[in-house]
Amino acid sequence: MADGQGGALLRGVTSSPRATFLELFFDLVFVFALTRVSQRLIDDVSANPPDVLRQVAQTVLLFLALWMVWILTAWVTSRYEPERNPIQFVVVASMFASLVMAVALPRAFAERALPFALAYLAIQVGRPLLLTLALRGHPRRSVTRRILLWFTVGAVPWLLGALLPPAQEVLWTLALAWDYAGLALGWPVPRRGAARPSGWAVAGEHLAERYQQFFLIALGETVLVIGLTFSGAVFSSHAALAFTLSFLTTALLWRIYFHRAGHVLAEAIRVARSPGVLGESASWTHLVIVAAVLLTGVGYELVISHPHGGRTPTGWAVFVTGGPALFLTARARFEYEIFARVSRSRVVGVVLLLGLLPLAPLLPPVGLLGLSVAVLAGIAVADTARAHGRPLERPASPL
């Protein structure tokens, strides 16, 4: 009986593969959270030169903590039935704690360190604890117990880092490395082995849709950056041009992502011999894709605010052309995951964008952004020309 009650939480054959309104509601918090990450990156670039790398590293750590929360929630709702009350409670509670993390994020390495750490641990420890209790005697309870144990151990450096400011960066780096090692290795425990997500039974269409939704959230965050920055900038023809080029970049990122591979991700996971393997691999790829979009959005803010400010600082070029280059690199991996190949245009695009970095000091910011747009537009045109008149390619994942 206990096994039956616990099993009722799992997704069944009649469960809808589409994301629920609850999950879309949960994502709203991450629209705000990503704006906090983006704004913090912008502030980092404006910091004193000796502190720039340190500040950026801190922001990356905080972003990775947010991603860990989101990706595990996505896997939970892909494995368990989101319409069940215990799962809905877990998602809503995670949503509130994620909001606390987002609010604390700008000052997470200062006076708001403890609220950030406590909110993170409330999700990562509380979620497997509640699932363990709800599953009762079900065999899958062993997985949630393993995750619970792993995150409980990892809670120690998180709390110590929040309480010991001089050692916070080191302790939180170790804590996050521990958490990501658990995710990558399947939270192994002595005499019980591991339970890697790649071996889980997941709803392929649902998981693919969740990845794509988070990518769209990241694009939405860049639209906010474009609009808010331009509305607060001094109106000029240069600023208007930077505004237009920024929007074109976002539109091109959307076009390049969804061309072919983005459209068949759900089918690729569904027909894969081991859907969990492809699902897990795609999660790491989308982590880099989303990070690249955020970096690109920072470039928008810098260029729109200072479109013709003489030569482009090298640090700005990392965002203006480095962000799209990182996106194309991750998109090439995504293409390989789906089709076991990489288009030549992706490789050429990365080389061209990286080649613009040394030219940055010779160009105004809006000029560098314009060249970046030209490279992305060339890739989009090449994709369209290659696909013209051909049937939609079927997925052939090598994973």
- Mean pLDDT split into 10-residue runs, the chain, 399 residues: 61 71 91 93 76 88 96 89 89 96 96 97 96 83 89 97 96 97 88 67 76 94 93 86 96 94 84 81 94 95 84 88 97 93 94 94 93 96 86 81
CA distance 267 to 261: 10
> Given this model, what pLDDT does residue 2 score?
44
Query: Does residue 39 sit in helix, strand or coil?
Result: helix
CB 347 within 8 A of CB 375: no
> Given this model, what pLDDT does residue 294 score?
95
Nearest-5° Cα angle at 250, 246 to 252: 115
> Given this model, what pLDDT does residue 19 score?
81
Delimit the domains of the chain by residue range: 2-195, 204-387
Rg (CA), the chain: 22
Distances (CA, A) of 187 to 38, 77, 174, 190: 31, 19, 16, 10
Q: Which tens digit of pLDDT belongs to each residue from 68-116?
A: 999 999 988 888 888 889 899 999 999 999 999 999 999 999 999 999 9
**Which single residue is written with the structure tokens 């939704």?**
213
Query: Does residue 10 sit in helix, strand or coil?
Result: strand
- Domain 204-387, CATH among 1.20.1070, 3.10.450, 1.10.10, 1.20.1410: 1.20.1410
Question: What's the whole-number average pLDDT of the chain?
Answer: 89
> Given this model, what pLDDT does residue 1 score?
37
DSSP state of 258: I
Handedness of CA 160, 162, 168, 171 (dihedral sign): positive
CA distance 133 to 155: 20
Residues across the chain: 399
CA distance 369 to 376: 11
This prediction has a pTM of 0.92
> Given this model, what pLDDT does residue 5 score?
60
> Given this model, what pLDDT does residue 68 score?
96
